[in-house]
Amino acid sequence: MTDLLRTYERGVLRVTLNRPERRNTLTRATLRELRIVFEAHAAQEDLRLAILTGAGPVAFCAGADLADLSAVETAEAAEAYARDGMAALDALRAFPVPTIAALNGVTLAEGAELALACDMRVAAHDARIGFVHASDHRLPGLGGATDLARLVGPGPAMELLATARRLAPAEAHALGLVNAVAAPDHDFLEEVERLAAPVREHHPHVLRSLKALALGERFGAGVAERREREIAGFVAAWTHPLHQALLGQLRAELE
């Protein structure tokens, strides 16, 4: 049985971590599969959006599968795991259109790193989010600490990492870690779709340009490079046939 379920329909890639009996924890094989899936779909011409979630009602992803990682014993093996895992999450970070993590349950350690690799996050009302690596005498290694500091600032990031607290969705929302929280009396998937629906309405070339702008900030491009990306995106969108058609309609109405 594959560790991932995936569907692709009308420009939306949906990926589900499919290890509910293990609270959707990440093995090295799961990380490799994530990288393969997201890299394989990056060139889809009609691509608009990706949504990542976990199977079952309990967990988005409870972290690394420690049974699998028990075989990682040497410094060389640990470095290889971190580099391979970071590359897998980078395939998600660099995905060329917006991505949403649908946090249907506990989201811990490497699971929190995975969630922050996405552009946006929606949390179920009973989800819990925590960078709890220190509780197991270890640290983030897949790029999550960098993402966390970028989102909330170095001081709050240090607090979350050092205390290993599990955040309720409301606090995670207040900190900017999640974009929306489903109410207890609302269907969680409906809240995910509420965020996704307006994104799906935009044309792929617009979404790719918007994501390119976000990637410049995410990966530390200088101001000059980010401004050039903005100009290039503006020109590409302005001269696209869809926008030119709208301009033609406007000209006709003004005549």
Domain positions in the chain are: 4-200, 204-254
In this structure, are residues 216 and 226 in contact, taking their beta carbons and an 8 Å threshold? yes
Residues 6+ apart with CB under 8 A from 240: 203, 205
pLDDT of 243 > 90? The answer is no
pLDDT of 135 > 90? The answer is yes
Q: How far is residue 248's CA from residue 229's CA, in Å, rounded to a whole number?
A: 26
pTM of the entire predicted model: 0.92
In this structure, are residues 123 and 60 in contact, taking their beta carbons and an 8 Å threshold? no
What are the CA-CA distances from residue 69 to residues 63, 78, 95, 217 (Å)? 11, 9, 27, 32
pLDDT of 144 > 90? The answer is yes
* Dihedral sign, Cα of residue 60, residue 127, residue 190, residue 45: negative
Q: How far is residue 144's CA from residue 161's CA, in Å, rounded to a whole number?
A: 10
pLDDT of 1 > 90? The answer is no
Q: How far is residue 122's CA from residue 115's CA, in Å, rounded to a whole number?
A: 10
Q: How far is residue 158's CA from residue 250's CA, in Å, rounded to a whole number?
A: 52
pLDDT in tens, 168-179: 999 999 999 999
Q: How far is residue 74's CA from residue 81's CA, in Å, rounded to a whole number?
A: 11
Task: Name the fold adopted by 4-200.
Answer: 2-enoyl-CoA Hydratase; Chain A, domain 1 (3.90.226)
Q: How confident is the model at residue 217 (pLDDT cuts 50, 70, 90)?
A: confident
